[in-house]
Structure 1
Amino acid sequence: MQLTTYIADLLYRYECVIIPGFGAFLTRYKSAHIDDATNTFNPPSKIVSFNKQLQANDGLFANYVASVEKCSYETALQQIRKFTAEISTALSEGKTISFKNIGDFSLNEEKSLQFEPFHQQNFSTSAFGLASFVSPKISREVYKETVEALEDKAPIIFTPKRKEAKPYLKYAAIAVIALSAIGFGSLKLYENQVQQFNYAERQKANSLVENQIQEATFVIENPLPVLSLQLPKHTGMYHIVAGAYREEANADKKMQQLRDKGFLPLKMEPTRYGLHQVLYASFADRLEAQQKLHEIQRTENADAWLLVQDIQ
């Protein structure tokens, strides 16, 4: 099933991948750890789980299928609906469905959906190229006993020997300290004089500028009227997409339709597959974007979907 490969691709980049009408795959980060029982070092990873309650289409999976297959968004949705129908039929017949590199699905005796992930697959890009390895346990007590035995056989005794300082070295040290103190005092005196001079000059400059500002008079005749502009702002990572069009003329037509309805739409730059996407609005908060998406799907466009992308 080719669509399972697309799901695996998305799990490397997103924490939630929803399969409309079936459920959602969720990933959770797990830091590197050591298995004390087997002395195995494991790299950072993403743990995959499944939630059957999340079935609402957020557009991520369908848009990715349309981009890879180079087809329309509606065609991609049809492929996904057919895919989920085949899975549901096979599960109802008692079969186990395997998603390559992701996990297995089956029904238990109570006809509840069960998911068993493949623990060998790591979807964390930060751990690319890293693999688990086993290292033998280090026995530190052996070395400790060996060192203690050597110390008992050959103890090491340090006998300090006091050396008599030569008289002329003492006087030379005193002379060096005296010269350093004189030089340091001279340096501090010079720095204080420089700071006082700079402060006096700065005060003169400030006084001169204040006098010039007080004497200046500004008269503006025929001032320009104040303009109030309202421009559409599309910022944030979450965007509600009204549609993706192969022909730019169709995208422009959709833009005009949305303007007539009171929206402030935005036409994005063509994707690498030549699709022109038209946006309803953009949000910085994912929850706010989901709420607006559900409102638009209920009242305006049932096929609207959510795009997660930085467009700045």
Structure 2
Amino acid sequence: MPSKKANFVYMQLTTYISDLLYRYECVIIPGFGAFLTRYKSAHIDNSTNTFNPPSKIVSFNKQLQANDGLFANYVASVEKCSYETALQKIRSFTSQISRELSEGKTISFKNIGEFSLNEEQSLQFEPLQQQNFSTSAFGLSSFVSPKITREFYKETVEALEEKAPIIFTPERKAAKSYLKYAAIAVIAMSAIGLGSLKLYESQVQKFNLAERQKANSLIENQIQEATFVIENPLPVLSLQLPKHTGMYHIVAGAYREEDNADKKVEQLRDKGFSPLKMEPTRYGLHQVLYASFEDRLEALNKLSEIKRTENADAWMLVQEIQ
């Protein structure tokens, strides 16, 4: 039976996962799987007449287990511990989950959902339907509104028309015919005035176009006659500087000795990378970066490529750098 301390760590880590789901679309738990969020627009449930606000729906993918550094870095920053200590806590966390699932228990992640194994021993995830991870919908809740029955009012109006039909007398019809001729006369006069206005506008546009063409022709002639001579032109200066911007950085290694970090930078530069040596961390480590990215998925793809072809121990750092 897990101790009280183990249960406390378990509850804390599930809370951290919930916090990250408000900010990111993918939160990977190393060695266990990834929580993914997907935006869903506001909609109406016609069966219950319920109006639902926009939301972020949570799903789970067991195939995404490679450590991208996001969860471990967040745990380390919140609990003010080293990155290695945070990884050890996550490993204990996933081991406890796997053990309890194999015993047939249902594992509940607070504010996220529940995990269990089916008869084929496959992992099943049931998200918590009431939870909404969309910050743009904060404070909005679902509500029920009765359906508007427009057909009822239509039938009532038709019944009133049958009881009190509208009858036009001959005098009214005669007056209506005079009004019709008067309206035709007004339309004819308006058409004549509109035609005159259109003719005037056309003449003005033709005049403006002719004057604009004259001005353009004069300017082109003056430009062709001008001669520009620059003595002793300055040489073209070409600078190629590595750019490391964004929150997602692929780390080649962290070194206690700065000389070792400098050697790693030279090695990566010889291989065609644009490495960057960061300022020492609060633990005195000098981290060397392969590259930095604005987009998280692009960074994950590059990390997989580097792990496969260059450095199996590379990992992702998620933070702002100066």
Sort the TM-score into its range (normalised by shorter chain): 0.7 to 0.9
1:276 to partner: Cα distance: 8.6
Change (3 A) 1:43 1:224: closer
Contact 1:27/1:47 (8 A) holds in 2:
yes
Choose which of 80, 86, 103 in structure 2 pairs with 1:70: 80
Determine the structure 2 residue equivalent to 1:154. 164
1:41 partner SS: strand
Contact 1:251/1:277 (8 A) holds in 2:
no
- Alignment partner of 1:4 is 2:14: yes
Determine the structure 2 residue equivalent to 1:304. 315
Identity of aligned residues (%): 66
1:151 to partner: Cα distance: 0.7
- Paired with 2:164 and 2:135, the residues of 1 have a C-alpha distance of 55
Unaligned runs of 5+ in 1: 166-170
RMSD: 4.0
1:77 to partner: Cα distance: 0.9
Q: Partner letter of residue 163 of structure 2?
A: K
Determine the structure 1 residue equivalent to 2:266. 260
- Paired with 1:174 and 1:36, the residues of 2 have a C-alpha distance of 52
Determine the structure 2 residue equivalent to 1:39. 49
Choose which of 194, 209, 218 in structure 2 pairs with 1:204: 218
Determine the structure 1 residue equivalent to 2:140. 130
Determine the structure 2 residue equivalent to 1:28. 38
- Paired with 1:36 and 1:301, the residues of 2 have a C-alpha distance of 52
- Paired with 1:175 and 1:142, the residues of 2 have a C-alpha distance of 47
Contact 2:276/2:289 (8 A) holds in 1:
yes
- The 10-residue stretch of structure 1 (17-26 or 262-271) with the greater mean CA deviation from structure 2: 262-271
Change (3 A) 1:156 1:203: same
- Paired with 1:182 and 1:194, the residues of 2 have a C-alpha distance of 19
Deviations 1:202-252 (Å, cap 9, x if unpaired)?
A: 423321231123xx5x3644x65555533212356643134689xxxx696
1:121 partner SS: coil
1:125 to partner: Cα distance: 2.2
1:262 partner SS: helix
Q: Partner letter of residue 313 of structure 2?
A: A
Q: Partner letter of residue 45 of structure 1?
A: S
Contact 2:265/2:277 (8 A) holds in 1:
no
Q: What pairs up with 1:1-312 in 2 under 5 angstroms?
A: 1-158=11-168, 159-160=172-173, 161-162=175-176, 192-193=206-207, 195-213=209-227, 216=228, 218=229, 220-221=231-232, 227-235=237-245, 238-242=248-252, 256-263=262-269, 264-266=274-276, 278-283=288-293, 289-297=299-307, 299-300=310-311, 302=313, 304-305=315-316, 307=318
Q: Partner letter of residue 136 of structure 1?
A: P
Contact 1:236/1:310 (8 A) holds in 2:
yes
- Paired with 2:155 and 2:191, the residues of 1 have a C-alpha distance of 51
1:153 to partner: Cα distance: 1.4
The TM-score, its normalising length taken from structure 1, stands at 0.76
Change (3 A) 1:68 1:201: same
Q: Partner letter of residue 239 of structure 1?
A: H
Change (3 A) 1:176 1:269: farther
Q: Partner letter of residue 138 of structure 1?
A: I
Change (3 A) 1:65 1:277: farther
- The 10-residue stretch of structure 1 (224-233 or 88-97) with the greater mean CA deviation from structure 2: 224-233
Contact 2:117/2:124 (8 A) holds in 1:
yes
- Paired with 1:59 and 1:97, the residues of 2 have a C-alpha distance of 24
The TM-score, its normalising length taken from structure 2, stands at 0.74
- Paired with 1:23 and 1:14, the residues of 2 have a C-alpha distance of 15
